[in-house]
């Protein structure tokens, strides 16, 4: 396998504090994990939901600093990491907020909390996020939701993995350094069950107030976060091709970084289509375009385990998904693809009804039950 030299690439990227490249993690199963980037989705399913996902990007992408040892004077005993592509793991829990209206319950919002760990080469990002959403439901069942989240984002750098060009460079940290800042996000989500068999669109932005992270001696290395804009939309078509066993779920995601001047920097577009058979097996494709080129094509698989009560419209939904990204840019010469696994489990939960209170009076304790 051909390998790539990335000597000091990590440091070079970090020193470019004014860079506004995509910083937040990316996911292929975006349509099944909307909560990871849009807080307004909290409680939208009107169920209690657990989501978990792991994304292993560009497997086989290696640090080849060792090829420069003859000219850099680095010790030959140094060991360099393999698989320095992004490794992302996350989980979230969400719950609806509802009130009782007559004999029914009305969804008025939701809450959520979650975490995510994203490691790229020698940098590690840890997100601890919580948020709340409010909803307004119209007579036809469509709803508009507004959500807000707060994130504790810790960025860490493993200085021991970096190699300096000039030995003893005081600006390069020799150990693990980190910095923590608070970030905020805002989202809007609209859904309408009467458009086809269910249509949705959402807009959200993360890192509303960009923060500067400082590493190294005297703040020699600085990273500035950037605003991230997400626009997601999709629909559901039951009885696809007039077949009651088929359901088509197309979706689209536009994500981009908003520059200091308000311009959009290298928007990334995902086009996705999933076909489900008998609410049991699913398969489809996702095409990701970045800038003016195609980044990857993903083969996606889904499975709804036939456990008791599982299925569309039932009291619970369990879904397991897997995707394999075929890299279509020049990185394909150094990597053998990207893997992603995700699990969603949603269920209904309600407190048991309080038993009616029975009051007895001594006068009626021996009353004949046949007497009116």
pLDDT on residue 273: 96
Cβ neighbours for 368, distance < 8 A, ≥ 6 positions apart: none
d(CA 124, CA 56): 14
- The owner of tokens 């990334």 is 268
Does the pLDDT of residue 128 top 70, yes or no? Answer: yes
Residue 90 CA neighbour count, 13 Å, CB half = 31
Does the pLDDT of residue 207 top 80, yes or no? Answer: yes
pLDDT on residue 1: 33
**Greatest mean pLDDT range, 63-77, 205-219, 281-295:** 281-295
pLDDT on residue 61: 62
Residue 247 CA neighbour count, 13 Å, CB half = 17
Burial class (CB in 10 A: 0-12, 13-18, 19+), 185: buried
Range 207-229 average pLDDT: 83
pLDDT on residue 173: 77
Which residue would you say has higher pLDDT here, 329 or 298?
298
Range scoring the smallest mean pLDDT among 29-33, 48-52, 216-220: 216-220
pLDDT digits 0-9 by tens, 130-168: 999 999 999 888 999 999 999 999 998 887 777 666 777
Which residue would you say has higher pLDDT here, 45 or 19?
45
Q: Is the Cβ–Cβ distance between 343 and 89 less than 8 Å?
A: no
Of 340, 326, 256, nearest to 295 (Cα)? 326
Does the pLDDT of residue 350 top 70, yes or no? Answer: no
d(CA 47, CA 313): 11
Of 156, 157, 234, 251, nearest to 200 (Cα)? 234
Q: 272-289 burial, b for 16+ CB within 10 Å, e for fewer?
A: bbbbbeebeebebebebe
Where residue 19 falls among pLDDT bands split at 50, 70, 90? Answer: very low
pLDDT digits 0-9 by tens, 257-297: 988 777 888 889 999 999 999 989 999 999 999 876 788 89
pLDDT on residue 252: 97
Which residue would you say has higher pLDDT here, 122 or 128?
128
pLDDT digits 0-9 by tens, 78-101: 555 566 777 899 999 999 999 888
Where residue 12 falls among pLDDT bands split at 50, 70, 90? Answer: very low
Q: DSSP of 174-203, one letter per residue?
A: SSEEEEEEEEEEEEEEEEETTSTT-EEEEE
Helices (H) and strands (E) in the chain, counts: 2, 17
DSSP H/E element including 344: strand 338-347
* Tokens encoding 270: 């995902």
Query: DSSP label at 218?
Result: G
pLDDT on residue 343: 95
Range scoring the smallest mean pLDDT among 147-156, 212-221, 307-316: 307-316
Return the percentage of the chain with pLDDT > 90, whole number: 44
Cα–Cα separations (whole angstroms), residue 142 to 130, 179, 198: 25, 42, 9
pLDDT on residue 363: 60
d(CA 71, CA 299): 42
Mean of the per-residue pLDDT values of the chain: 81
DSSP H/E element including 222: strand 221-224
Which residue would you say has higher pLDDT here, 174 or 268?
268
Q: DSSP of 99-159, one letter per residue?
A: EEETTEEEEEEEEEEEEEEEEETTEEEEEEEEEEEEEEE-TTS-EEEEEEEEEEEEEEEEG
Q: Which domains does the chain have, with CATH numbers?
A: 9-227+306-349 (2.40.128)
Range 64-79 average pLDDT: 55
Which residue would you say has higher pLDDT here, 335 or 230?
230
* Tokens encoding 133: 């959403």
Does the pLDDT of residue 357 top 70, yes or no? Answer: no
- The owner of tokens 């200091």 is 260
pTM metric for this prediction: 0.81
Cα–Cα separations (whole angstroms), residue 99 to 102, 103, 104, 106, 107: 10, 11, 8, 5, 7
């Amino acid at each position: 396998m051909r390998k790539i030299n990335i000597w000091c690439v990590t440091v070079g990227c970090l020193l470019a504090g004014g860079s506004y490249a995509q910083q937040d993690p990316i996911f292929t199963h975006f349509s099944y994990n909307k909560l990871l980037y849009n807080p307004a989705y909290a409680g939208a399913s009107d169920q209690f939901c657990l989501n978990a996902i792991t994304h292993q990007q560009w497997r086989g992408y290696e640090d080849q600093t060792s090829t420069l040892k003859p000219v850099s004077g680095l010790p030959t005993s140094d060991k360099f990491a393999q698989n320095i592509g992004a490794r992302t793991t996350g989980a979230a829990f969400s719950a609806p907020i509802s009130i009782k209206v007559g004999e029914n319950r009305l969804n008025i919002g939701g809450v959520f909390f979650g975490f995510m760990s994203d490691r790229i080469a020698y940098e590690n990002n840890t997100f601890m996020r919580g948020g709340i959403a409010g909803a307004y439901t119209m007579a036809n069942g469509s709803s508009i939701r507004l959500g807000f989240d707060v994130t504790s984002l810790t960025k860490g750098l493993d200085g021991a993995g970096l190699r300096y060009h000039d030995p003893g460079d005081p600006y390069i940290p020799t150990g693990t350094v980190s910095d923590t800042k608070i970030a905020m996000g805002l989202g809007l989500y609209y859904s309408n069950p009467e458009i086809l068999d269910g249509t949705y669109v959402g807009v959200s932005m993360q890192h509303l107030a960009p923060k500067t992270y400082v590493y190294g001696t005297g703040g020699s290395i600085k990273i500035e976060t950037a605003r991230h804009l997400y626009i997601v939309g999709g629909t559901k078509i039951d009885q696809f091709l007039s077949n009651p066993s088929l359901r088509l779920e197309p979706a689209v995601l536009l994500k981009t970084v908003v520059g200091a001047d308000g311009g959009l920097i290298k928007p990334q577009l995902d086009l996705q289509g999933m076909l489900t058979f008998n609410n049991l097996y699913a398969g489809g494709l996702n095409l990701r375009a970045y800038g003016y080129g195609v980044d990857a094509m993903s083969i996606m698989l889904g499975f709804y385990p036939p456990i008791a009560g599982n299925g569309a419209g039932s009291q619970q939904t369990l879904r397991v998904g897997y995707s394999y990204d075929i890299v279509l840019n020049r990185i394909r010469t150094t990597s053998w693809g990207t893997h992603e696994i995700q699990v969603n489990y949603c269920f209904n939960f309600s407190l048991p009804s309080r038993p009616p209170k029975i009051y007895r009076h001594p006068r009626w304790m021996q009353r004949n039950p046949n007497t009116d």
